[in-house]
């Protein structure tokens, strides 16, 4: 019994909650239907949760959606990062942050 009392508690894992995952998967589903995206991966650890988006399963991720609660009071817990490492958008609300990935391209004529 004493050995169990000496064990450290398991570290908490940062993850997306059900509503956050629904927002991300709704966007992902639309992009799959449009033929832009084909695969995804979700990673969780003690510092952050990451949803990676791929064009093909064997490639590097096109975009990564991060949730980092330690940044919640400063820049916002959510961010979208492009494959190049450039942060496309940060914020406190996931819905507003992932909107950067849902923009439609428009033709500009001169």
pLDDT tens per residue across all 110 residues of the chain: 555 557 776 668 889 999 999 999 999 999 999 999 999 999 999 999 999 999 876 778 999 999 999 988 888 999 999 999 999 999 999 999 999 998 765 556 65
List Cα–Cα distances, 70 to 40, 76, 93, in angstroms.
24, 9, 15
Q: Say if residue 101 is exposed, middle or buried (CB neighbours under 10 Å; 0-12, 13-18, 19+).
A: buried
39's CB contacts (< 8 A; 6+ apart) are 53, 54, 56, 57
Nearest one of 81, 54, 46 to 66, comparing CA atoms: 81
Q: pTM of the predicted model, to two decimals?
A: 0.82
Beta strands per DSSP E along 11-72:
39-44, 49-54, 63-67
Residue carrying the six token digits 């940060």: 90
């Amino acid at each position: 019994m004493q050995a169990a009392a000496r064990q450290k508690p398991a570290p908490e894992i940062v993850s997306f909650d059900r509503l956050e995952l629904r927002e991300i998967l709704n966007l992902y589903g639309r992009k799959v239907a449009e033929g832009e995206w084909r695969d995804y991966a979700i990673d969780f650890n003690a510092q952050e949760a990451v949803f990676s988006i791929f064009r093909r399963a064997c490639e590097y991720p096109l975009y990564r959606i991060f949730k980092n609660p330690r940044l919640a009071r400063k820049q916002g817990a959510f961010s979208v990062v492009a494959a190049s490492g450039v942060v496309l958008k940060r914020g406190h609300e996931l819905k507003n942050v992932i909107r950067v990935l849902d923009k439609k391209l428009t033709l500009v004529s001169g």
